[in-house]
Amino acid sequence: MSQFTILVVEDEEAIRSMLVMVLQQYDFEVLEAGDVAEAQLILDDTLPDLILLDWMLPKVTGDEWTRRLKSSENFRDLPIILVTAKGEEADKIRGLDLGADDYVTKPFSPKELISRIKAVLRRSGKIHDLTQIKFKDIILDTAQHHASIADNDVEISPTEFRLLSFFLTHPDKVYNRTQLLDQVWGRSVYIEERTVDVHIRRLRKILAKYQREDWLQTVRGFGYRFSEKDS
Ligand code: CA
């Protein structure tokens, strides 16, 4: 989860450090603020992936800040989970009405908190983005090892899948066979360089079914490049 940054806004230091600790244990990057003014300063130069926002804060309360953020152009898509101590159903509903993405009620277990955070990140499309590699109309889902080209499900072996995902994330650059072996197969595996050509041919065959073979280009004397531009 280290790709995700969570901003924790909580005035009670003991609770804030507890939250920070829990989130760090789950590998989140954490930013912290004791009140809304501090949190706003953080937002001025960093955009977190989610705000964990205490309801009861001095001066500007969590629900008030939620209302402001959700009605602002820049931050309306920033997910917010309200942390409330109140057992009142009405408050929770009010929080969600204001645009909060979810709430947790103190006391809560670390496990519950993390699963709420993951659910919100998933709903907001952030977790999904992370496992998806996209290049034009080629989409790879690395979590499910699924590939599609122009909305067609593609049958592809694990090696070609890895090769393709390497190319899609490193477009327009030329790689020689040794570099591809290192990057796709790993340095510790001993494979002849010719093997690379075999897999390139197989991958090109797959791409050819969807008229995308021109994107996997041979650069004579150097190696291979994935690009939609003409070689
Ligand atoms: Ca508080």
pLDDT digits (tens, 9 = 90+) for 109-168: 999 999 899 889 888 877 766 678 889 999 998 878 899 999 999 999 999 999 999 999
Distance 27 CA to ligand 1 centre (A): 24
Average pLDDT value over all residues in the chain: 90
Distance 56 CA to ligand 1 centre (A): 4
Distance 174 CA to ligand 1 centre (A): 55
Distance 46 CA to ligand 1 centre (A): 23
Distance 16 CA to ligand 1 centre (A): 9
Judge whether residue 86 has pLDDT over 80. Answer: no
Average pLDDT rounded to a whole number, residues 163-174: 92
The Cα 228–Cα 219 span in angstroms is: 14
Provide CATH code, domain 5-125: 3.40.50.2300
Distance 84 CA to ligand 1 centre (A): 8
Provide CATH code, domain 130-226: 1.10.10.10
The Cα 13–Cα 20 span in angstroms is: 10
Distance 75 CA to ligand 1 centre (A): 22
Distance 39 CA to ligand 1 centre (A): 14
**Both structure tokens of 55:** 């309801």
Distance 12 CA to ligand 1 centre (A): 6
Distance 224 CA to ligand 1 centre (A): 57
Strand partners for 153: 148
Helix (H, G, I), strand (E, B) or coil at 69: helix
The Cα 103–Cα 91 span in angstroms is: 10
In this prediction, residue 105 has a pLDDT band, given cuts at 50, 70 and 90, of confident
The Cα 164–Cα 151 span in angstroms is: 17
Q: Which of the 8 DSSP states describes residue 148?
A: E
The Cα 114–Cα 120 span in angstroms is: 10
Distance 114 CA to ligand 1 centre (A): 20
Helix (H, G, I), strand (E, B) or coil at 208: helix
Q: pLDDT value at position 128?
A: 65
The Cα 50–Cα 31 span in angstroms is: 10
Distance 101 CA to ligand 1 centre (A): 19
pLDDT digits (tens, 9 = 90+) for 19-35: 999 999 988 999 999 99
Distance 83 CA to ligand 1 centre (A): 9
Choose among 123, 68, 73: nearest CA to 99.
68
Domain coordinates in residue numbering, the chain: 5-125, 130-226
Question: Are 162 and 184 within 8 A, CB to CB?
Answer: yes
Choose among 84, 82, 74: nearest CA to 43.
74
